[in-house]
């Protein structure tokens, strides 16, 4: 297998490279020159492979985020928020007794 075929196989194994070409940030010629000079196991590729994640990488990242979520804490926070909303609703309710006292304070005191 010649160097060109090896490069084609390398690109097919690393589809992130194609994204750089599509975005016109690099050309295949640029990548081939890097490949020719450094080979495929060099650290020079890290910036190209880590910049654009594949769908599998994104799914793994989301999975790890969800694994770290403590559902008990979230449930406690939701319950606390619901209680706070309930208290606020109770405090802001207008009851007929309070309205009567405010409107007719003299009548309520003397009973007239």
Cβ atoms 52, 17 nearer than 8 A: no
pLDDT above 70 covers a percentage of the chain that reads 76
For residues 15 and 27, what is the distance between their CA atoms, to the nearest angstrom?
A: 14
Cβ atoms 71, 81 nearer than 8 A: no
Q: Is residue 111 helix, strand or coil? A: coil
Q: Residues 6 or more apart from 9 whose CB is under 8 A from it?
A: 1
Residue 92: its pLDDT value, please? 86
| Arithmetic mean of pLDDT over the chain | 80
Q: Is the pTM of this model over 0.85?
A: no
């Amino acid at each position: 297998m010649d160097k060109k075929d090896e490069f084609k196989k390398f690109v097919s194994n690393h589809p992130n490279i194609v994204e750089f070409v599509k975005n016109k940030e690099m050309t295949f010629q640029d990548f081939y020159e890097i490949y020719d000079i450094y080979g495929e196991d060099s650290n020079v590729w890290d910036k190209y492979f880590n910049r654009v994640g594949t769908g599998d990488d994104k799914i793994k990242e989301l999975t790890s985020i969800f694994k770290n979520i403590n559902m008990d804490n979230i449930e406690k926070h939701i319950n606390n928020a619901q209680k706070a909303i309930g208290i606020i609703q109770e405090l802001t309710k207008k009851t007929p007794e309070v309205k009567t006292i405010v409107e007719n304070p003299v009548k309520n005191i003397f009973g007239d």
